Amino acid sequence: MALKSWRELPIGGVILESGSSVDYLTGGWRAERPIIDMDRCTSCMICWIFCPEGGILVEESKVTGIDMDHCKGCGICALECPPKVIKMVQEVTALEGEQGR
């Protein structure tokens, strides 16, 4: 992406596109990846309320997955999950698994 010249940028350093940081992917920070056992997930939303990234994907009050583009792999969800259905796996292992498929 070509950076804009001073003539093209809005003055005052203001950012007009709210929430634009979604384009900045922090998933690459991850050393461990949370895996949800979707069959046993109760959608209690405890992981959702505690996720620092807002990375728990939800549709109609049901957990549908994790935003791996942004998940930093902190592991809060796995530790706090009441039915203990989220486990952390090594990112390297997970990536190898994906490639294997």
Partner 1 sequence: MTMTRSKGSVTDRVQGEPIALDGAKAVAQAMRQMNPDVVAAYPITPQTEIVQTFSEYVANGEVDTEFVAVESEHAAMSACIGAAAAGGRVQTATTSAGMAFMWEVLYVASSLRLPIIMAVANRALSAPLNIHCDHSDAMGARDAGWLQVYAEDVQEAYDNAFQALRIAEHPDVMLPVMHCQDGFIISHGVERLELLPDGAVKEFIGTYTPRYSLLDTEHPATFGPVDLQDHYFEHKRQQVDGMEKALAVVEEIGQEYGDLTGRYYGHLSPYRLEDAEIAIVVMGSTAGTTKIAVDKMRERGIKAGLLKLRTFRPFPADAVAEALAGVSAVAVLDRAIAFGSQGNPIFLDVCTSLYASGARPDVVNYVYGLGGRDTTASQITTVYADLLNIAETGQRGPLVRYLGLRE
Partner 2 sequence: MAINLRQMCNERDQLAPGHRLCPGCAEPVVVRQILHAIEDPVVVANATGCLEVSTSIFPYTSWRVPWIHSAFENASTTAAGAESMYRSLVRQGKMADNGTKFLAFGGDGATYDIGFQFLSGVWERGHKVLYVCLNNEAYMNTGIQRSSATPLGAWTTTSPVGRVRPGKRENRKNMTAIAVAHEIPYVAQASPHLWRDLMNKVQRALAADGPSFINVLAPCPRGWRSEPGESISISKLAADTCVWPLYEVIDGVWKLNYKPRNKRPVTDWMKSQGRFSHLLKPENEELVTQIQERVDKEWEALVTKCEAN
10-17, Cβ contacts within 8 angstroms, sequence gap of 24 or more:
none
Structure tokens at 72: 């930093």
Rounded to the nearest 5°, which phi and psi values hold at 42? -100, 0
- Does 6 participate in binding partner 1 (rule CB under 8 A)? yes
d(CA 15, CA 82): 39
Name which of 21 and 64 has its Cβ closer to partner 1: 21
Interaction of residue 21 with partner 2, rule CB under 8 A: yes
Stretch that binds partner 1, among 10-18, 53-61, 64-72, 74-82 (CB under 8 A): 10-18
State phi, psi for 8 to the nearest 5 degrees: -95, -20
- For the CB of residue 17, give the shortest distance to partner 1 in the complex, in Å: 9
- Point out which residues bind partner 2 (CB under 8 A): 13, 15, 17-26, 29-30, 43-46, 48-56, 58, 60-61, 67, 69-70, 72-76, 78-80, 88
